[in-house]
DNA sequence: ACTTAACCCAGCAAAATAGTCAACTATTCC
DNA sequence: GGAATAGTTGACTATTTTGCTGGGTTAAGT
């Protein structure tokens, strides 16, 4: 499991797609403009996302990309793994043919950690992120509302 | 928060250092041999780890590197961040000067996720990993012991 | 003094990243 | 049917990162 800017671009684009998904497909041009990612780079990323059955491409006018499933059914780990290179993972290729026991020891430790990160990100969906943001947004508005009310109270008090 | 092979090298090397930390400092040459990482690359990584006050370098014969704190006090996130480039973080530099509201929206979502990953890895120490492995190791040995006992039982039964 | 090993630095080849350019295909709308 | 739309594909490029080689200098122990 790697976390690079490439994966970030993919997740960002997918979040944008999920957020703007109404009935109509979303064009890459729109996403490119909103997220300031080059169109051709997005094309590369979405070619992989399509092969991974995460998005569906719709051709022709009014076309674009749609999520293949509900945003709650698409997790972050699969988006990142779709665009990442397969990551040769190990030097001993799981065969455990390291020189002695020591190399495989720390190697095994790292693999365990990597697995944990994958599990963690696999438990978070695009829908979760959008929802959490929505909650934050609402919370922030309520916070502002509270301030406005407080302000009004002070105005009445001073009047 | 990025997760690249560079960070993996750093964590692997730190795990090796933590595992082999007795009284004496551990030389980079030893780590290089055990983990098959080039000495010069390790030097680069440890220069950063030293600047981040994660390890202490001891010069001269019998020298090497020591952990600056107990393995339980060093978390994975700080090891990775020590060797990673500062990661220009955002395009709008936290100023929020994106074109409209939309870019900052998904951007904010990603930053939130990144923060979660940092928090997650920040909660795991080198000591945790070593301990977990130790538990696995013990568990595996007990498993083997059980098989041996079972084997002995079968031998007695057939005799 | 000599050895050891951290420290420091310049450079370098391979890979990954991010992007451009161009041609082609399927679809829909007129 | 023809034009416009938008995905699809591939080759090609610039930049950065990665991982390493090899040269040195400095501090500390014997």
Interval B33-46: pLDDT, tens: 988 899 999 999 99
Strands A55-58 and B55-58, sheet pairing: unpaired
What number is the average pLDDT over the span B4-32?
93
**For nucleic chain C, which protein residues have CB less than 7 Å from any of its atoms?**
A 2, 4-6, 9, 37-41, 43-44, 59-63, 84-85; B 25-29, 40, 43-44, 46-47, 50, 57-65
Shortest CA distance from A5: residue in chain B: B2
User: Is residue A103 predicted with pLDDT exceeding 60?
Assistant: no
pLDDT class for A35, splitting at 50, 70, 90? confident
DSSP bridge pairs for A66: A56
Angle, CA A64 vertex, CA A79 and CA A50 arms, to 5°: 35
Does the distance separating the beta carbons of B124 and A113 come in below 8 Å? yes
Nucleotide nearest to A63 (CA to C1'): D6
Q: Look up tokens 């190791």; give the residue.
A: B137
| Nucleotides on chain C within 7 angstroms of protein Cβ | 3-10, 16-22, 25-29
Which helix or strand (DSSP H or E) is residue A79 part of? helix A76-83
User: Which alpha helices (DSSP H) does chain B contain, by range?
Assistant: 5-19, 28-35, 39-51, 76-83, 101-122, 126-158
Instruction: Look at residue A94 in the predicted model and tell me its pLDDT.
Output: 46
Whether the model clears a pTM of 0.95, i.e. scores above it, the answer is: no
Spatial contact of A56 and A42, defined as CB atoms under 8 Å apart: no
Query: Whole-number mean pLDDT of chain A?
Result: 82
Gap from B22 CA to C4 C1', Å: 20
Domains for chain B: give ranges and CATH numbers: 5-85+125-158 (1.10.10.10)
User: Is residue B101 predicted with pLDDT exceeding 90?
Assistant: no
Interval A5-14: pLDDT, tens: 899 899 999 9
% of chain B with per-residue pLDDT over 90? 50
Instruction: Look at residue A88 in the predicted model and tell me its pLDDT.
Output: 56
Q: Choose the weakest-confidence range: A31-35, A38-42, A57-61, B105-109.
A: B105-109
> For residue A140, how far is the Cα from the chain centroid?
23
Instruction: Look at residue A134 in the predicted model and tell me its pLDDT.
Output: 75
Q: Which residue is nearest nucleotide C17, judged by alpha carbon to C1' distance?
A: A6
CA dihedral sign, ordered B75, B77, B80, B81: negative
* Residue B3 per-residue DSSP state: B
Q: Which long-range contacts (CB under 8 A, 24 or more apart) does B127-133 make?
A: B127/B18, B127/B70, B127/B71, B127/B72, B127/B73, B127/B74, B128/B72, B129/A109, B129/A112, B129/A113, B129/B15, B129/B76, B130/A109, B130/B15, B130/B18, B130/B19, B130/B71, B132/A112, B133/A105, B133/A108, B133/A109, B133/A112
Burial of B53 (0-12, 13-18, 19+ CB in 10 A): exposed
Instruction: Look at residue B96 in the predicted model and tell me its pLDDT.
Output: 47
Gap from B139 CA to C17 C1', Å: 43
Instruction: Look at residue A70 in the predicted model and tell me its pLDDT.
Output: 95
User: Is residue A53 predicted with pLDDT exceeding 90?
Assistant: yes
Instruction: Look at residue B95 in the predicted model and tell me its pLDDT.
Output: 45
User: Is residue A146 predicted with pLDDT exceeding 50?
Assistant: yes
* Residue B72 per-residue DSSP state: G
User: Is residue A151 predicted with pLDDT exceeding 70?
Assistant: no
Cα–Cα dist A122/A125, whole Å? 7
Instruction: Look at residue A95 in the predicted model and tell me its pLDDT.
Output: 46
Instruction: Look at residue B54 in the predicted model and tell me its pLDDT.
Output: 97
Instruction: Look at residue A122 in the predicted model and tell me its pLDDT.
Output: 92
The tokens describing A82, both together, are 């779709």
pLDDT class for B156, splitting at 50, 70, 90? low
Spatial contact of A129 and A15, defined as CB atoms under 8 Å apart: yes
User: Is residue A136 predicted with pLDDT exceeding 90?
Assistant: no
């Amino acid at each position: 499991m790697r976390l690079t800017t490439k994966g970030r671009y993919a997740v960002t684009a997918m979040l944008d797609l999920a957020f703007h998904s109404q009935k109509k497909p979303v064009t890459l041009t729109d996403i490119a403009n909103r997220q300031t990612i080059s169109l051709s780079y997005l094309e590369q990323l979405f070619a992989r996302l399509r092969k991974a059955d995460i998005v569906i491409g719709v051709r022709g006018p009014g076309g674009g990309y749609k999520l293949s499933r509900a945003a709650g059914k698409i997790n972050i780990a699969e988006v990142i793994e779709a665009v990442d290179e397969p990551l040769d993972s190990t030097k001993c290729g799981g065969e455990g043919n390291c020189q002695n026991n020591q190399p495989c020891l720390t190697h095994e430790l790292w693999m365990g950690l990597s697995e944990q990160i994958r599990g963690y990100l696999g438990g978070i969906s695009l829908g979760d992120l959008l929802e959490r943001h929505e909650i934050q947004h609402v919370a922030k508005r309520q916070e502002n509302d509270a301030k406005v009310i407080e302000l009004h109270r002070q105005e009445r008090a001073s009047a």
